[in-house]
Every structure is written in C-alpha cells, then in structure tokens.
Amino acid sequence: MTTGVPSAGADLVLRGRRFGPEHPAVMAVINRTPDSFYAAARYDDAGADAAVARAEQEGADLVDLGGVRAGRGPEVTVAEEIDRVVPLIARVRQRHPDLLVSVDTWRSEVARAAADAGADLLNDTWAGHDPALVEVAAERGLGVVCSHTGGLPPRTDPFRVSYPVPPDAPVPTDPRDGVLIDVLDTLRAAAARAAALGVPPESVLVDPTHDFGKNTWHSLHLLRRTAALVELGYPVLVALSRKDFIGETLDLPPQDRLEGTLAATALAAWQGARVFRAHDVQATRRTVDLVAAVRGEGVPARVTRGLL
C-alpha cells in the first residue's frame, strides 16, 4: 500500500545537530548590504543584530549572513565583504550560541575568514565559481551548499538562457526537463566533489538556485520537480523567498510576494526539501511545520479537539 507521500529526503547535520523530516530547517536571510533586492532585508550593523535576535525568536534554525547583493550592483571588494559579515558572525556565535551560522559568499577568502569567526555553513550561491571555497569547507569541517547557475559568473543576470533536453536523455522525457537534467548533473557532480574532499555527505546541501541562470518557466518547473532533486540523496535547500519567478507569475513586486512564497514553500516541503531560506521566518516556520504534520512526520503542538 502506498501512502502517496513523496520521499522525506536526506537529513541535514551541522555542528552535531540533525534536522530530519519532523523538523525542516528554516534559514533566516540577514543581508549586510545596502542594495538587497528586497528593501526590508537591508540591515546596518545594529539592524542586523536585531534581525538575528528576532529570527531566533520566530523559529529560525540558521541565519544566512550576506555581504554582497546577488545581482548586479556596485563592486564590493573581498575586504569590504569580510568587514560586513565577519564581525557579525562572531557576534551571532557569542550572543546566540544555539543558532547555526551560514555565510552567503562565493569567495574562498571570505569563507576562510568566516570559518575563523565561527561559521557552520558556506552557502556558495555561485556554483563553485571559486573552486577553493569547497576546499575551505572540507579543511575546516564546515557544511557547504552546492548550487546551479547555468554557468553564469557571479552577479550576472540570465539572458535568453535555454536548456534543451539532451539527445541521449531517457525516453519519454518531459520537454521541459532540460533544465532539470542540467541542474541534476551539476549538483550531483558538485556534491560528489565536496564529499570526496572530506565534507560529510549529510553536511552537503544541494540547491537548484531558482532564478539564477534561469527564467521564470525554468524556476517553476524546478519547483514542480523538487522530488527529483531529493532523490540525489543530499539534503535539499530551496531559496524561494520573494524571488522574481514568484513576482512574475503573480505580477507582484517583492514586498507583495509573501503568499506566493509560502505556496511555493509548501510545495517544496511536501516533496521533501529540508532547508528553507526565508525573509519571513515565522510564516515559513509555520508553513513547513504544518506540511511536516500532514506528511505524518511532524506532530501537532496540541490536540484537544474532540477529546475534551
């Protein structure tokens, strides 16, 4: 008898803490940038400290600290990026010892400084552009996020990208699966390299990286096929929060994309994604906890209806 519930996916382990299907991990976005695409997520030093405290109160398991806008913008040097994020990492580890700390960077120099300050995870959103970054993760015992950008270098936007289905792909194949095949091949290879270097497989996350190197149709299809990513055997991270593919689908600016984000989050959670990078921590926490309960892995906080 089948339950109709997709695979739960692989557990995530960071700093000795395990995240299974009963408790999907929520990763709070904390940007130390003046030009983040979502204005509400732009923090100075004081604002970032307050945002971290609020994220922990609202149920975040990790904070993802970033010092450079993902998209196009003014140049930020390695030294500037380190100055923006490394002191914050140190403060988070001192003031919030139970929070796991991720740093959003593609630069190995920043990764090494972040490791020295106490980071637990390197979130490489630019798909190994600096191949030494994953080596830092292996050397320092950190987790790492393997991503997919379709070969684009950091801080560039996609333009008329296409992912044709390879001629040797299994038949029958959905004609939209070209992007999925490319993502699976890229993530499989990147995760295998990380594991071969010494990063424990349960600390290697794979991220299809919606929007990066993709148009809206590509991102929608990857969300639809999250279960195929889960089958890679590594914990799946999804960064869906207020992204352009949600905005274009609903014709909404970033500040009005919460409902679409939560709908996408629920779909990914149902299919076994394990980590959810989010601007709206409390809403995301409630969404993934409800999905975990529907899947039969989480439990309700209380059950009194019909019993009292």
Residue 55 within a domain: yes
Average pLDDT over residues 194-212: 98
Residue 17 within a domain: no
Q: Residue 128 has what pLDDT?
A: 93
Residue 305 within a domain: no
pLDDT in tens, 168-190: 888 767 889 999 999 999 999 99
CA distance 246 to 261: 7
pLDDT in tens, 23-40: 999 999 999 888 777 767
CB 28 within 8 A of CB 49: no
Residue 6 within a domain: no
CATH number, residue 291: 3.20.20.20
Q: Residue 38 has what pLDDT?
A: 75
pLDDT in tens, 94-118: 999 999 999 999 999 999 999 999 9
Instruction: For residue 43, name the pLDDT band (cuts at 50, 70, 90).
Output: confident
**Phi, psi angle pair for 254, to nearest 5°:** -50, -40
Which neighbouring-strand residues pair with 63?
28, 101
**Phi, psi angle pair for 29, to nearest 5°:** -85, 120
CA distance 135 to 119: 15
Global pTM reads 0.95
User: Would you please indicate which residues are annotated as catalytic (active-site) residues?
Assistant: 243, 277
Residue 3 within a domain: no
Q: Please, what sign has the CA dihedral across residues 277, 19, 127, 165?
A: negative
Q: Where are the alpha helices (DSSP H) in the chain?
A: 45-57, 78-95, 108-117, 132-140, 178-197, 216-224, 226-230, 244-250, 258-270, 281-295
CB 261 within 8 A of CB 240: yes
For 135, the domain range is: 22-295
**pLDDT averaged over every residue in the chain:** 95
